[in-house]
Structure 1
């Protein structure tokens, strides 16, 4: 089975994917962004737009996920924002047409919730910046995500991008539990305390920081 975790940039896809992987033995994370980064490295900086617009990205993602689903026995977890219906059809729907079991979840939240999460990628300095009146300073490095936010929320709220999970008042562990319950898989118990969970999420953020 493939679990495609969709959502706006900053919506919690990567954190949810890692929570599922650590509590689901034998599962793997396959991140389609890596295909996009490879395409960007082959292009001059002036030509680096949205890599999803390249047919080669969509084809490459389909081929790799098809291969992993065919050869790997465990769960395959894909954290990836995808909101264009054509691109969704060429990846998610195409994998289903190939005969793979694909469950798609769109993580949604209110706009301000997402903006706060983008600020929190600064690893806890947002409250300090708020005190000195610079609370939006961290959003400057997340301008791509901010620019895409309204489009993402509008598109992903549509029925064709179900199943929807609203995450404003839920923890990462609770979102993972919901996905597991919905798909009928069993996760190992979550024994993280508040501090340990926070440190684990910070480590994931650092691991996926864009430089």
Structure 2
């Protein structure tokens, strides 16, 4: 089974994916952003754009996930924003055509909620900027610029199943996805502080430097 976790930038996809992986033995995360940023780095800076527009990225993602699903016994988790129905058909749709069990979920929240989450995520980037390690919160500015488009597109029926997360924690959202997919997560026994520290670590590890 493949769990594709969609949603706007800053919507909680990565945190939810890592929560599921932590509590579901045998599961793995396959992040298409790795391939996307690799392709993006091949371009000179002035030609870089949204890697999701590259046919090579969409075809490559479908091919790699097809291979992983064919050879890995556990659940495969994919946190990735896809808002174009055509791109969705070339990735999620193609995997389903090849006979794979793909469960797709879109994490949605009110605009104000996502903006707050982006500000919180941007604070970690700002710390990196102060330390001289990256160009600052420009990526959050890009995400804010994409937000209205993302929320409008992802509300379309083809991007269901929709899960609203304004009043849900990451562990609860992960549990909802598991129940809807017929999966059982291990109980979470850690306290609130440990959860926040672990989630902060996940956020820091996923800071992009380009």
TM-score normalised according to structure 2 size? 0.92
Displacement, 1:86?
0.4
Give the equivalent residue in structure 2 for 1:49.
49
Instruction: Identify which of 115, 135, 148 aligns with 2:146.
Output: 148
Give the equivalent residue in structure 2 for 1:173.
171
Quote the Cα distance in structure 2 between the aligned partners of 1:206 and 1:39. Answer: 22
Give the equivalent residue in structure 2 for 1:132.
none
- The SS at the match of 2:3 is strand
Label 1:120 to 1:70 Cα distance change in 2 as closer, same or farther (>3 A). Answer: same
Confirm or deny: 8 A CA contact 2:11 2:107 kept in the other structure: yes
Label 1:203 to 1:58 Cα distance change in 2 as closer, same or farther (>3 A). Answer: same
Unaligned ranges ≥5, structure 1: 126-137
Quote the Cα distance in structure 2 between the aligned partners of 1:119 and 1:209. Answer: 14
Unaligned ranges ≥5, structure 2: 127-135
Confirm or deny: 8 A CA contact 2:32 2:80 kept in the other structure: yes
Q: What does 1:13-92 align with in structure 2 at a 5 Å threshold? A: 13-92=13-92
Query: What's the RMSD between the two structures over aligned residues?
Result: 1.6
Quote the Cα distance in structure 1 between the aligned partners of 2:125 and 2:205. Answer: 16
Give the equivalent residue in structure 2 for 1:203.
201
Give the equivalent residue in structure 2 for 1:134.
none
Confirm or deny: 8 A CA contact 1:118 1:139 kept in the other structure: no
Give the equivalent residue in structure 2 for 1:104.
104
Confirm or deny: 8 A CA contact 2:4 2:80 kept in the other structure: yes
TM-score normalised according to structure 1 size? 0.92
Displacement, 1:47?
1.0
Confirm or deny: 8 A CA contact 2:104 2:160 kept in the other structure: yes
